[in-house]
Amino acid sequence: MRELKLILFLCLLTFAVSCGQQKKYVEYKVAKGETMRSIARKLDIKTKDLRRLNPDVRRRPAPNTIIIVPNTKSLITANAQKEALIRKVLDSVAVLVETDSTALAADDAKNFLIHEVKKGDTFYNLTRFYNVSQEELISLNPELSEGLKLFQKIKIKSIKENVNEAVVYSDEIGEDVSLKVALLLPFRVSEYDTVAADDIFDNSRLANYVTDFYMGAELAVDSLRLQGVAIDLNVYDTERNSSKIRTILEENDLNQNDVIIGPLYSEEAVIVANEVETPVVFPVYSKNQSKFKSSKIIKTAPNKEVFSDAIATHIKEVYTEGTITVVSDGNPESDFHALKMSEILQDVDSINEVQVIKAIDGYIEKERFLEVFKQLTNNWVVLATSDNVVVSVAINSLISLPDSISAKVFSMDKGKAFDKIDDNKLAKIGFTYVNDLFVDENLEPTKIFNKQYLAKNKTLPSFYATKGFDITYDILVRLASGEPLKETFKKGASYRVESKFDYSEELFETTENKGLFILQYNEDLTLTRLK
């Protein structure tokens, strides 16, 4: 390997000397919307080199600005030579890696999900994405005890298992990356200026959310700065209403930013997206987000329809035999979800029938379940309701069934209706649900995050703080790759401390995160991530 590194160095040195005389410079007129970074990307040169040629030009020059750039023809020729040279050397690297590691047998490729190690891959992102442990990976691939190697092909899990065929996103930070970020949050500083801190945080859920989200976002920025990313963070107080948003837009050129995180209110996000060309990251869930039309908005919280689709897909994948019953509370919204769920499940050839039970006066008698259940067979119940009483009565009826009848309960999410139900009851029915967050406190990165947050803020992170970190870090590390943000979405799903980001790829539509977890209660009251 040392000899290979020497060959690579000498080849690149020879290339640099031979091409040194070819570089010539020409004038370039900046088009509307172009930045120094986008121009550098178009010309396949480093942004820092372009800025050195034009030290007096801003990062976002005005349209028709004349700048100096390398001659395109010479550059294309040089890059073609460079690409051919590096490809030849990398081919040699691939051969050496394959020679040094155990070659995968043909049967392995048939029986196991195979992953080729890419730049940026870590045990953390592989284990989170594929839902396996590091120990399981090393057991299947003993050579991993020496660490991951570039281009190495490793076995992940048996193909017979339920495998997510999506791609894991690998973090990759470009050289000399600089980012400008706008963070728009309703701090309401002027409103709280004369109010005691205890009164603010004891009486305002919003104040707690905003403050914690900001502290999480700030830690994400600190982390990326330590990795060499220059970040200019500009924080704006959006205060109480949309008039302040319009003032911010009038007094500041938000297009100077690479990304805008916030605002928190859906109507304000629409106002900002209509006035800028920069991506606008909407960092919370809103029931109005399904109405977003702008292609500049990035929704970080999945729509509720995605939750329903996720649990239906999971049931179809794992169903073998038994009855399926969908429970509705009788209200129009619940009836709609129950009917949709029934139709989706009945499309599966192996599922003969899906029964729908509607609550009567908010109550479902145990006998109504017994009418559709079969003795000594699996009975699966999907709760298509968030009504507190119906959920509680249905679960109490199910856990009181005779021992000869087994029942397993599924839900589209674990909303407030389940908060008052004892975990022992949920464990007894193998409660399985969809959620947009899952944290494993035993993972090393989670421990590191908690430790760093505690050291910086003198308290452990709340749910809001972790969400602020996850969203900010994921967006900024993708931008730090040097690629357009939406291009990175095509390169796979990412897992952060407690969130999964699996963004849609539609070019001219609002971008939506569809990253969800399927979780199941165990008898010992722990949670297992099924997907």
pLDDT of residue 7: 41
Task: Encode pLDDT of 198-217 as tens digits.
Answer: 655 556 778 888 899 999 99
Q: Residue 4 — very low, low, confident or very high, per pLDDT cuts 50/70/90? A: very low
pLDDT of residue 181: 95
Whether 381 has a pLDDT exceeding 80, the answer reads yes
Whether 107 has a pLDDT exceeding 70, the answer reads no
pLDDT of residue 82: 47
pLDDT of residue 98: 41
Task: Say how many C-beta atoms besides its own lie within 10 A of residue 421's C-beta.
Answer: 17
Do 498 and 438 contact (CB within 8 A), yes or no? yes
- Alpha carbon distance 495, 501 (integer Å): 6
- Cα–Cα–Cα angle for 156, 158, 163, rounded to 5 degrees: 75
From 128-142, 145-159, 193-207, 383-397, the region with the lowest mean pLDDT: 193-207
Q: What is the DSSP string of 29-41?
A: EPPTT--HHHHHH
- Alpha carbon distance 454, 446 (integer Å): 12
Looking at 3.30.1330.120, 3.10.350.10, 3.30.1380.20, 3.20.110.10, the CATH number of the domain 107-158 comes to: 3.10.350.10
Q: Which residues, listed in sequence order, are joined to residue 29 by a DSSP beta bridge? A: 66
State the DSSP code for 11: H
- At the second CATH level, the architecture of 305-434 is 3-Layer(aba) Sandwich (3.40)
- Alpha carbon distance 114, 96 (integer Å): 19
Amino acid at 4: L
**CATH 3.40.50.2300 residue spans of the chain:** 178-302+441-515, 305-434
CA proximity to 501, closest of 510, 509, 490 = 490
pLDDT of residue 241: 76
Task: Encode pLDDT of 251-284 as tens digits.
Answer: 999 999 999 998 999 999 999 999 999 999 999 9
| Alpha-carbon separation of residue 329 from 326, 385, 392 (angstroms) | 10, 6, 12
Burial grade of 144 (CB within 10 A; 0-12, 13-18, 19 or more) = buried
Task: Encode pLDDT of 56-100 as tens digits.
Answer: 788 888 888 888 888 755 454 545 554 554 444 444 433 334 434
Task: Encode pLDDT of 85-97 as tens digits.
Answer: 444 444 443 333 4
Q: Which CATH code for domain 2-95?
A: 3.10.350.10
Q: Residue 375 — very low, low, confident or very high, per pLDDT cuts 50/70/90? A: low
Amino acid at 471: I
Q: Is the peptide bond before 70 cis (omega within 30 degrees of 0)?
A: no
Report the pLDDT averaged over residues 27-35. Answer: 83
- Alpha carbon distance 283, 299 (integer Å): 7
Q: Which residues, listed in sequence order, are joined to residue 528 by a DSSP beta bridge? A: 520
Does the domain at 178-302+441-515 match CATH 3.40.50.2300? Answer given as yes
Say which residue the tokens 């370039």 belong to.
Answer: 28
- What are residue 280's phi and psi, to 5 degrees? -115, 115
In percent, how much of the chain has pLDDT > 70? 83
Q: Residue 240 — very low, low, confident or very high, per pLDDT cuts 50/70/90? A: confident
3-state helix, strand, coil in the chain (%, to 5): 45, 20, 35
CA proximity to 284, closest of 292, 276, 295 = 292
Q: Residue 160 — very low, low, confident or very high, per pLDDT cuts 50/70/90? A: low
Task: Encode pLDDT of 162-175 as tens digits.
Answer: 444 457 888 889 88
**Helical (H) or strand (E) element with 78:** helix 72-100
- Alpha carbon distance 73, 79 (integer Å): 10
pLDDT of residue 225: 93
From 317-331, 367-381, 411-425, the region with the lowest mean pLDDT: 367-381
From 11-15, 30-34, 365-369, 473-477, the region with the lowest mean pLDDT: 11-15
Per residue, the 3-state secondary structure of 448-504, as one string, reads HHHHHHHHHHCCCCCHHHHHHHHHHHHHHHHHCCCCCHHHHHCCCEEECCCEEECEC
**CATH 3.10.350.10 residue spans of the chain:** 2-95, 107-158
Task: Say how many C-beta atoms besides its own lie within 10 A of residue 196's C-beta.
Answer: 9
Task: Say how many C-beta atoms besides its own lie within 10 A of residue 161's C-beta.
Answer: 12
Q: Residue 101 — very low, low, confident or very high, per pLDDT cuts 50/70/90? A: very low
Q: Has this prediction a pTM greater than 0.75? A: no
Task: Encode pLDDT of 447-498 as tens digits.
Answer: 888 999 999 989 899 999 999 999 999 999 999 999 999 999 988 899 899 9
pLDDT greater at residue 246 or residue 122: 246
